[in-house]
């Protein structure tokens, strides 16, 4: 694996430095990096998506374990480094550009390349893209799991309980399809350059019985976003009291007091 000194040397040789606007904070704690890859249980023949691979430290570990790796890198300088270091491996495919196609879909070229094959997301996610990427992948039936590092506050939102301040649309959309486990809390010193925030390492695994069908994700997500844009108002004031209400839900309740399953019931009665 690339050490911090090696990453510095690679960047220096190309006359570049980490770019804050791309959230380039490289995970340099090898024990934690291995822990994340171990949790993913990928191996020979696994199809893996990595977003924001940087200089390729994790990419090299994934390839060493026999995975077929599809990497998406927005920064053209980092993409050039990846092509230089990894393009000789036939199991490595690089897409240069945004990992997202709008706010509700992954990069269209990546999806075409996958051709519906099951894949696992393993990545030190750029903070700017983390939330939409995780919500999208949670709702994709071909995503076998997500094993990621994200800002700790985002991790807290993903694992939040009903009625807490962190509970919101991201929590609900992801928990409708997946179970979220925090593997580790990462101090800023685990990265170079050190970010100003603490990070969390998460395992997001599909539920055996999700509370939604995958083709319902977009419509349900839009409903939840509508509710939580007025989260302090009563449900009746948001949706109208004349609608049909499930017996377990009172129109005087506020959105943040409803469990994921009750929010699904409310949406379906609309």
Q: List helix spans (H) across 74-143.
A: 76-86, 108-114, 127-138
Residue 28: band (very low, low, confident or very high) from pLDDT cuts 50, 70, 90? very high
Looking at 194, 210, 226, which one is the last position of a domain? 210
pLDDT of residue 92: 98
Residues 66 and 143 reside in one and the same domain:
yes
Tokens of 208: 């055996």
| Cα separation, 168 vs 145, whole angstroms | 21
pLDDT of residue 104: 86
Residues 34 and 121 reside in one and the same domain:
yes
Q: Is 198 exposed, middle or buried (0-12, 13-18, 19+ CB in 10 A)?
A: middle
Residues 135 and 100 reside in one and the same domain:
yes
- The residue whose two tokens read 């200089």 is 55
pLDDT of residue 103: 82
CA-to-CA separations, 45 to 9, 42, 146, in angstroms, rounded: 32, 8, 17
| Tens digits of residue pLDDT in 46-79 | 999 999 999 999 999 999 999 999 999 999 999 9
Looking at 188, 210, 232, which one is the last position of a domain? 210
Domain, as residue range, for 253: 215-268
| Cα separation, 40 vs 220, whole angstroms | 28
Buried b (16+ CB within 10 A) or exposed e, 6-18: ebbebbeeeeeeb
- For residues 255-259, average pLDDT: 97
**CATH number of the domain encompassing residue 247:** 1.10.8
Domain tally, the chain: 2
Residues 242 and 204 reside in one and the same domain:
no
Residues 141 and 251 reside in one and the same domain:
no
Whether the model clears a pTM of 0.85, i.e. scores above it, the answer is: yes
Please tell me the chain's helix, strand, coil percentages from 3-state DSSP, rounded to the nearest 5. Answer: 40, 20, 40
Structural contact between residues 233 and 254, judged by C-beta atoms closer than 8 angstroms: yes
CA 78, 18, 131: angle at the middle one, nearest 5? Answer: 80
Residues 200 and 227 reside in one and the same domain:
no
Residues 109 and 234 reside in one and the same domain:
no
pLDDT of residue 270: 80
| Tens digits of residue pLDDT in 102-120 | 888 999 999 999 999 999 9
| Cα separation, 104 vs 169, whole angstroms | 14
Residues 194 and 255 reside in one and the same domain:
no
């Amino acid at each position: 694996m690339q050490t911090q000194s090696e990453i510095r040397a690679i960047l220096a040789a190309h006359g570049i430095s980490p770019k804050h606007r791309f959230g380039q904070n490289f995970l340099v704690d090898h024990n934690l990096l291995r822990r994340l890859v171990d949790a993913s249980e990928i191996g020979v023949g696994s199809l893996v998506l990595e977003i924001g691979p940087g200089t390729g430290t994790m990419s090299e570990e994934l390839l060493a374990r026999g995975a077929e790796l599809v990497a998406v890198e927005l920064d053209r300088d980092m993409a050039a480094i990846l092509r230089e270091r990894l393009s000789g491996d036939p199991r490595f495919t690089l897409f240069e550009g945004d990992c997202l196609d709008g706010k509700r879909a992954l990069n269209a070229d990546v999806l075409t390349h996958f051709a519906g094959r099951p894949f696992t997301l393993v990545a030190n996610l750029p903070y700017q893209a983390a939330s939409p990427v995780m919500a999208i992948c949670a709702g994709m039936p071909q995503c076998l799991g997500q094993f990621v590092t994200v800002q700790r506050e985002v991790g807290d939102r993903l694992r939040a309980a009903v009625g807490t301040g962190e509970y919101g649309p991201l929590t609900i959309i992801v928990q409708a399809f997946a179970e979220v486990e925090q593997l580790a809390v990462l101090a800023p010193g685990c990265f170079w350059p050190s970010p100003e925030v603490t990070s969390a390492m998460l395992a997001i695994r599909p539920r055996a019985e999700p509370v939604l069908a995958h083709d319902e994700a977009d419509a349900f997500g839009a409903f939840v976003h509508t509710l939580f844009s007025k989260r302090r108002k009563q449900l009746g004031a948001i949706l109208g009291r004349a609608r049909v209400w499930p017996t377990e839900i009172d129109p005087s309740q506020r959105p943040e007091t409803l469990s994921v399953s009750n929010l699904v019931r409310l949406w379906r009665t609309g």
